[in-house]
Amino acid sequence: MDPLKALADAERKPYWLDTPARPEPLRRLIGQTSADLVVVGGGFSGLWTALMAKERDPSQDVVLLEGRRIGWAASGRNGGFCMATLTHGLANGLERWPEDIERLERMGVENLDEIEETLTRYGVDCSFERTGELVVATEPWQLDDLTGNMDLIQDLGLDYVPMDAEQVRAEVNSPTYLGGLWVRSGCAMVDPARLAWGLREVCLRLGVRIYERSPVRSLQDDGITIELRTPYGVARGAKVALGTGVFPPLLKRLKHFLVPVYDYALMTEPMSPAQLDEVGWGNRQGVGDSANQFHYYRLTDDNRILWGGYDAVYYNGGQLKAEYDQRDETFVKLAGHFYDTFPQLDGLRFTHRWGGVIDTCSRFSAFYGQAHGGRLAYAVGYTGMGVGATRFGANVMLDLLSGEQTERTSLAMVKDKPVPFPPEPVRSGVIQFTRWSIAQADLHEGRRNLWLRTLDRMGLGFDS
């Protein structure tokens, strides 16, 4: 099908947020308030922090400040892959923290188990499905990478099932698949917006005071409390947790480590029973391919296909602009790739197209830290895999604020920082040349040029 025709009627908004089930906004912060803990940011990072702070100490007074609406940004417009990995995949974790990899993998699975248990206990309905993920090879050079760590995977006790072309096509039928790896226990599918709204309701039930449409404009510290000023009010906290992602940081040091990268996605109309039968997909796994520029895709409750990824776009200067959320060049490219992958779905149209910014750092996984004498903690840099890992990061922030030494705070991943990015305009030049080099690697059987090999040796390892 002509991609332009397939996109003709697609709404320019995130599918997950385009529903009458979206809750009404809560009131703004007007006037002054104080709390034991003030959480900044109403995405998954802030919501999990507020929720677990109340679980740790129900008597603790917790305030959460959100600049717009709960879940409006990355937490409400992502693909809904709630993954066990804390390190942006086993390979990335093994490259950076081999001495901790057994603990990191175990703690990641425990974190995903605890997410499921929490959602069940509080009755949060977000279509949580523990389906696992299929990682598929679409080029011969990708096959060895899929099974290269199978001995280690078995030693770690991870439930990974290698598949040949016939086996993986029996799971999801695409002529492009040459092999695959089913990560059976390491991923759940969720409706991310309903997850955010469900966590909001749990926080309110536990007594968290949430103020929406209350962007924090400044932060001041008098040595006893930290003052957070919004357009119409002031919140003072004995302790503060920052879960603001890539948005202009209240802590200036973070701007050296974070860059905004825009990711884009499409949503199809629901498939008919006959179309679904053509594709198969009986186990409803999330799917990701193995190219450096990769696609991710999954089914919804009503058997639509979310199709995203491939283009990860950095706009020179690193500015955040609403118009960047829409990029027709990428939407047309994605639609073409969709029909290449599923030619049997020719004629299936798209109902939604959208994009948004994610927080990326040079190690591709979150980093953590403290400021203001240990009374402020932060967790940022999830690089598109934060649906599950933000809960772990929230626990890290609470551990740091309590001064408690835990297994989490002993990790090198928690203690270390990523390599900072150079200042502009060098930053833009480096990132754009790296993106070009990654694209060239995909065109040349995965062979990485001198620039990418140099980054690998520096521990930067750009691969997506």
Cα angle for residues 387, 462, 450 (degrees, 5° grid): 170
Instruction: Give the count of beta carbons closer than 10 Å to the beta carbon of residue 253.
Output: 12
Confidence grade of residue 464 (pLDDT, cut at 50, 70, 90): very low
Output the pLDDT for position 11. 98
Degrees (nearest 5) of the Cα angle 114, 119, 122?
120
Neighbours of 220 (CB within 10 A): 11
What distance separates the 2 farthest-apart alpha carbons in the chain? 65
Structure tokens given for 191? 């409706």
Predicted local distance difference test score (pLDDT) of residue 459: 67
- Look up residue 408 and give its two tokens: 């989490």
Q: Is the peptide bond before 425 cis (omega within 30 degrees of 0)?
A: yes
Burial call 179-217: b when 16+ CB within 10 Å, e when fewer: bbbbbbbbbbbbbbbbbbbbbbebbeebebbbbbbbbbe
Backbone angles phi, psi at 289, to 5 degrees: -90, 175
pLDDT tens digits, residue range 200-247?
999 999 999 999 999 999 999 999 999 999 999 999 999 999 999 988
Residue 98's SS3 state is helix
What's this model's pTM, rounded to 2 decimal places?
0.95
pLDDT(114) > 90? yes
- Residues 340-384: pLDDT tens digits? 999 999 999 999 999 999 999 999 999 999 999 999 999 999 999
Predicted confidence band of residue 248 (pLDDT cuts 50, 70, 90): confident
Q: What is the mean pLDDT of the chain?
A: 94
